[in-house]
A and B are shown apart, each in its own frame.
Chain A
Amino acid sequence: MKNLIEVKNIKKNYGKKEAVKGISFNVQENEILGLLGPNGSGKTTTIGMLLGLLKPTSGQILINNLKLENHRIEILEMINFISPYIELPKKLTVKQNLNVYAKLYKVQNIKERIEYLSEKLRIEELLDSITGELSSGQKNRVSLAKALINEPRVLLLDEPTASLDPEVGDFVRTFLEEYKKEKKISVLLASHNMSEVTRLCKSVLMMKNGEIIDQGTPDDLITKHGRTNLEEVFLKLSRSQSEFN
């Protein structure tokens, strides 16, 4: 299976502070890789570097075999991102927002693409609504539509179901599973929801203080650490590391 994301020994320093300390990992085609870690462990910094918003102090990032530092625009055309911490312009309607981003990503058949995503994400009836007036669950599905507007080959998800009720959360997870299977995309999922990670991810990276402290499939990690679920593994690793720091 081809690696769509290749991260090679990337570091990020802010002055003397080392936010990310030389991590390496790959994400294959048709794979969802979980990125776990407590707050401040370097997850957002890592995603920021993959999106080209942050320049690594050293190391290399390749997306679909292209070096990010040399092919920023080509890479951004095949990548997208969703996070509860960023929003779409609130005063525009859903359709206007999707239309704007379809133009920015130079989508060819804008009307068909918006119709397809609207149907898949059940937002047809929201298209003429003002984005700022939507509920959290509706906004989340609209943001997901924006993140898929360019048919990305690589999708970066930062807490994609944070603040969603269980029904909407389950809908989003099911959608992501099916979409990944259908389009064979690579997904990097940063989440604090361990059941979500267990359900969606083939393998998991555990980060702490800018380093990868463990990795493997959710089942392997649970067995290796003698716990009954991933949340217990997360707590054990977070706390045991803290003792050393």
Chain B
Amino acid sequence: MSLTRIYGLFLRHFYLITRSFPRILDLVYWPTIQITLWGFISNFFATHTTYYNNAVGVILTCAILYDFLFRTSIGFNMLFLEEIWSRNFTNLFIAPMKIGEILTSLVITALIRSLIGLVPAVLLTSPLFGISILELGIFLFFLFLSLYIFGITLGILVSSGLLRFGPSFENIAWSTMFLLAPFGCIYYPIETLPEVFQKIAYILPLVYIFEEARNILINQTVDIENIYNAFIWNALYFTLSIILFYYSFNAAKNRGTLINMGE
């Protein structure tokens, strides 16, 4: 692994972000809109339902966590798609970069992109709604880490599809998160889902993360098993995504996708 190359590819995307105000705006705009919108929805729930004692805090915290996951996954896909759209894909894959170096660089860049969006959103929740996500305490770090790993995993899976099938796979990149959201139990307990859906939800790390966030905020207790289960499933899916990425890279070399990418 070469830090210079990893840094080099990071620079390629960092330069792009700093040179483009719409890109910076895009990073900040959607999380802010999302948080504001959900803040108002949460306020509505707070006055019309007794389901949660502290509905604003719970729903808004889950909205921030989900948005972080969404930003991480889409951010990773965007980095890959940028290379295809700019017709730079071939240049990148004929550079002497190991697959591990490419992935590491994209993983770091995706994290920075997500944090750029997350920080303003977190800061806004306090003055606007009197809520601080920091109420989740030290376990907030583990929840974010778990979401980040899952977001990156989804990003790698989609990028594998782009490598294998070419730009036609792009639409899948945008819909992944929306497809998984109902099973993630982001805003409601898992018992809300039909039994069949519950079985699917239990093999995703999301349900453990959001159940635990609600558990901490509502019951003021910590269930380590939820955090542990989330990491176990994350480890499994992350490993599978890496294996699939290498497989797709080799398949692309056989099928010629790498040389026709962007056409």
Chain B positions within 8 Å of A, measured between CB atoms, are 2, 4-5, 7-9, 11-12, 15-16, 19-20, 82, 86-98, 250, 253-256, 258-259, 262-263
Contacts and interface: CB of A to CB of B under 8 A. Distances in A.
B216 to A, nearest CB: 42
26 contacts: A14-B255, A14-B256, A45-B259, A48-B256, A51-B94, A53-B93, A53-B94, A53-B258, A54-B254, A54-B256, A54-B258, A55-B254, A76-B95, A77-B96, A81-B90, A86-B88, A86-B90, A88-B91, A93-B15, A93-B19, A96-B11, A96-B15, A100-B11, A100-B15, A101-B95, A104-B92
A157 to B, nearest CB: 13
A51 B255 CA distance: 15
**Most-contacted residue by chain A among B5, B19, B87, B91 (CB, 10 A):** B91
Please indicate which of the listed interface residues A51, A55, A79, A86 has the most CB atoms of chain B within 10 Å of its own CB. A86
Interface string A84-122: 011111111100100111111110000000000000000
Contacts of B94: 51-53, 76, 79-81
A54 B12 CA distance: 25
Contacts of B259: 44-45, 48, 53-54
Contacts of A238: none
Q: How large, as a class, is the contact surface on chain A?
A: 35 or more
Interface of A: 14, 44-45, 48, 51-55, 72-74, 76-77, 79-81, 83, 85-93, 96, 99-106, 130, 146
A104 B8 contact: yes
Nearest to A146: B91
A94 to B, nearest CB: 12
Given A53-B90, A53-B94, A53-B258, A104 B15 contact: no
Given A14-B256, A48-B256, A53-B94, A87 B12 contact: no
Given A52-B94, A54-B258, A106-B5, A100 B12 contact: yes
A84 B255 CA distance: 22
A102 B258 CA distance: 22
Nearest to B94: A51
A141 B135 CA distance: 56
Given A44-B259, A96-B15, A53 B253 contact: yes
Given A73-B96, A92-B12, 5 more contacts: A91-B19, A92-B16, A96-B19, A103-B11, A104-B95
A105 B7 CA distance: 12
A104 B255 contact: no
Contacts of A88: 86, 88, 91
4 smallest CB-CB distances across A and B, nearest first, come from A103-B8, A76-B96, A104-B95, A48-B259
A58 to B, nearest CB: 13
A117 to B, nearest CB: 16
A87 B9 contact: no
Contacts of B89: 86
A116 B86 CA distance: 27
B12 A89 contact: yes
Nearest to A83: B90
A87 B88 contact: yes
Contact of A87 (B11, B86, B250): B86
Nearest to B258: A53
Contacts of B263: 85
A40 to B, nearest CB: 13
A159 B246 CA distance: 31
Contacts of A85: 87, 90, 263
